[in-house]
Structure 1
Amino acid sequence: MRRILKVIEYKTEVFLFLFLGFISGVPFLLVLSTLAFWLTELKIANTIIGIFMLTTTPYSLKPLWAPVIDSFNLPILDKFLDIKYSWGILSNILLAVSIIGLGFSDPQNNLWVTVLFASLVSFFAATQDIVIDALRIELTPAHLSGIVAASESIGFRAGMLTSGAGALYIAEYFSWPIAYGSMGVIVVCGSLVFWLLQRLSKVKTQNQQPKINTDRPFLQLFYNSFYNVVSQSYFFPIIAFIFFYKVADTSLNAMSAPFIYALGFSKIEYANISKFFGTTMMICGSLAGGLLVNRWNAYITLKLYGGLQIISASMFIVQTYMGYNSSCLILTLGLESFVSGLGSVAYLAYLAKFCRSSFTATSFTVLYSFGSLFRVLISLLAGWCADYLGWYVLFSLAAGLTAPIFYCLNRVERPRLCK
Structure 2
Amino acid sequence: MSTTLPPSDAAVQSSSHRAWRWVPSLYFGQGIPYVVVMTLSVIMYKNSGISNADIALYTSWLYLPFVIKPLWSPIVDLLKTRRLWIVSMELLIGALFGLIVLVIPLSGFFQWTLLMFWLLAFSAATHDISVDGFYMLALEQHQQAAYAGVRSMFYRIAMLTGQGVLVFVAGMLKDLTGRVDLGWCAVFAGLSLLFLSLAWYHYRVLPFPAQDRRQDAPAASVQEFLAVFRDFFKKKNLLLSISFLLFYRFGEAQLVKMAPPFLLDDVLKGGLGLSTQAVGIIYGSVGMLALTAGGLLGGAAIARFGLKACLWPMALAINVPHVVYVYLAFVQPQQVLLVGAAVAIEQMGYGFGFAAYILYMIMLAEGEHKTAHYAICTGFMALSMMLPGMFSGALQATLGYAHFFVWICLSAVPTFIVAAMINIDPAFGRKQDE
Q: What is the TM-score with the length of structure 1 in the denominator?
A: 0.79
8 Å contact from structure 1 (residues 246, 371) kept in 2: no
Of 224, 229, 233, which aligns to 2:227? 224
Give the share of equivalent positions with the same residue, in percent.
19
Q: CA 1:143 to 1:23, structure 2 compared with 1: closer, same or farther past 3 Å?
A: closer
Of 423, 428, 434, which aligns to 1:411? 423
Q: CA 1:214 to 1:120, structure 2 compared with 1: closer, same or farther past 3 Å?
A: closer
8 Å contact from structure 1 (residues 149, 348) kept in 2: no
Tell me how far 1:386 sits from its aligned partner. 0.8
Tell me how far 1:124 sits from its aligned partner. 1.0
Q: How does 1:152-231 map to 2 (within 5 A)?
A: 152-174=151-173, 175-188=183-196, 190-191=198-199, 192=201, 198=207, 206=211, 211-216=215-220, 218=222, 220-231=223-234
8 Å contact from structure 2 (residues 40, 163) kept in 1: yes
Structure 1 unaligned regions, length at least 5: 1-8, 75-82
In structure 2, give the amino acid aligned to 1:329. Answer: V
* Corresponding position of 1:383: 393
Of 263, 283, 299, which aligns to 2:272? 263
Q: How does 1:300-379 map to 2 (within 5 A)?
A: 300=309, 303-325=312-334, 326-344=336-354, 347-355=357-365, 362-379=372-389
Tell me how far 1:413 sits from its aligned partner. 4.8
Q: How does 1:26-105 map to 2 (within 5 A)?
A: 26-53=32-59, 54-69=61-76, 71-74=77-80, 83-105=81-103
Secondary structure, counterpart of 1:206 in structure 2? coil
The alignment yields a C-alpha RMSD, in angstroms, of 3.6
* Partner Cα separation in structure 2 for residue 58 and residue 50 of structure 1: 17
Of 284, 295, 319, which aligns to 1:286? 295
Secondary structure, counterpart of 1:180 in structure 2? helix
Q: What whole-Å deviation, never above 9, does each CA across 1:174-233 have from its counterpart, x for those lacking one?
A: 32111012123334555546975646xxxx6829x9945245584x44422311322221
- Number of matched pairs: 391
Q: What whole-Å deviation, never above 9, does each CA across 1:278-333 have from its counterpart, x for those lacking one?
A: 12222323333444454455555554432211222222222222213434422221
Q: What whole-Å deviation, never above 9, does each CA across 1:111-130 have from its counterpart, x for those lacking one?
A: 22111101011111111222
* Partner Cα separation in structure 2 for residue 198 and residue 349 of structure 1: 31
Bigger radius of gyration: 2
Tell me how far 1:346 sits from its aligned partner. 5.1
* Corresponding position of 2:268: none
Q: CA 1:217 to 1:307, structure 2 compared with 1: closer, same or farther past 3 Å?
A: closer
Q: How does 1:101-120 map to 2 (within 5 A)?
A: 101-106=99-104, 108-120=107-119
Secondary structure, counterpart of 1:65 in structure 2? helix
* Partner Cα separation in structure 2 for residue 289 and residue 21 of structure 1: 22
Q: What is the TM-score with the length of structure 2 in the denominator?
A: 0.77
Tell me how far 1:140 sits from its aligned partner. 8.2
Greater CA drift, 156-165 or 129-138: 129-138
